[in-house]
């Protein structure tokens, strides 16, 4: 790759890029010519191997940053280290996150706080520091939050994780208004059920047969949506949540809870005995 072209190419910071959706996003962005900064939390071996694969395939080695987004200082650090290493920042994909599917009555205050910090406070702080860096360099960048269909539809055992995804969608609109004068666009991409592990087949998974388009999502589905939404072709779009779920939540409740269906959140009540 020509050195002058590398200096001019766009830079993307992707959090939680070690596996699943984050890895798919990073792969697609590399294909589109982005220079990458990738964060991971604990498993360095997988992301280092992935970074080497990116260098072999696309001729550019991503920078790899360890971070824990439950620590406010890490959000600022990864943005600063990306700008220091790459000279600029054009796109941030707030992908890192995690859920706790226990009912609220079974969650401690510490567990609740951990999910809130990881799934809401951390991404908001990354967005804050990224926007400041873009404004300082007068870059009309793009900031994206990975949300979820759970941010639009309620499930039991999902009050905190789903609640934080809904909060990101709502906050996205306000940030889009705040940063529009700087040319910075802020949007969300909301995956539905998506395969995460290499041994999963999007068509063979039982849940895929329940989705209107007939399969689960793939990490590259999400990556392509991200790449388009960050591109000049979407330059007039800001403040939205783009749901990428194959129509998963369109049919609404109740869901099939049978074992054969492979998935279901509903509760089946026994018929009441006749009086």
**Residues designated catalytic:** 161
What φ, ψ does residue 189 adopt, rounded to 5°?
-120, 125
* Apex 78 CA angle, 108 and 17, nearest 5: 70
With b for 16 or more beta-carbon neighbours within 10 A and e for fewer, the 39-61 pattern comes to bbbeeeeebeebbeebeeebebe
Q: What is the bridge-based pairing of β-strands 35-40 and 91-94?
A: unpaired
What's the order of all strands across the beta sheet hosting 241-244? 63-66, 35-40, 11-14, 91-94, 142-146, 185-191, 241-244
Strand ranges, E, within the chain: 11-14, 35-40, 63-66, 91-94, 142-146, 185-191, 241-244
DSSP lists the bridge partners of residue 187 as: 144
Number of other CB atoms surrounding residue 194 within 10 Å: 21
Nearest to 150 by CA among 115, 105, 178: 115
Distance CA 248, CA 206 (A): 13
**Half-sphere exposure (Cβ direction) of 236: Cα atoms closer than 13 Å:** 0
Tracing tokens 């779920």 back to the chain, one arrives at 245
Distance in Å from the first CA to the final CA of the chain: 79
């Amino acid at each position: 790759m020509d050195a002058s072209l590398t200096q001019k190419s766009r830079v993307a910071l992707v959090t939680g890029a070690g596996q699943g959706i984050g890895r798919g996003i990073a792969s697609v962005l590399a294909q589109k010519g982005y220079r990458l900064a990738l964060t991971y939390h604990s498993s360095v071996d997988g992301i280092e191997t992935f970074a080497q694969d990116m260098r072999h395939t696309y001729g550019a080695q991503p920078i790899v940053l360890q971070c824990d987004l439950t620590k406010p200082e890490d959000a600022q650090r990864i943005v600063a280290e990306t700008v220091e290493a790459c000279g600029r920042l054009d796109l941030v994909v707030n992908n890192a996150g995690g859920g706790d599917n226990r009912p609220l009555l079974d969650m401690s205050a510490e567990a609740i706080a951990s999910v809130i910090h990881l799934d809401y406070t951390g991404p908001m702080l990354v967005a804050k520091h990224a926007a400041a860096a873009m404004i300082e360099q007068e870059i009309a960048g793009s900031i994206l939050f990975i949300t979820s269909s759970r941010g639009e539809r309620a499930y039991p055992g999902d009050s905190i994780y789903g609640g934080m995804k809904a909060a990101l969608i709502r906050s996205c609109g306000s940030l889009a208004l705040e940063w529009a004068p700087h040319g910075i666009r802020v949007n969300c991409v909301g995956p539905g059920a998506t395969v995460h592990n290499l041994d999963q087949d999007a068509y063979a998974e039982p849940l895929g047969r329940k989705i209107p388009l007939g399969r689960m999502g793939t990490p590259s589905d999400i990556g392509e949506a991200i790449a388009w939404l960050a591109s000049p072709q979407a330059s007039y779009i800001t403040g939205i949540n783009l749901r990428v779920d194959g129509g998963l939540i369109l049919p609404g409740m109740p869901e099939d809870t049978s074992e054969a269906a492979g998935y279901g959140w509903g509760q089946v009540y026994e018929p009441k005995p006749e009086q």
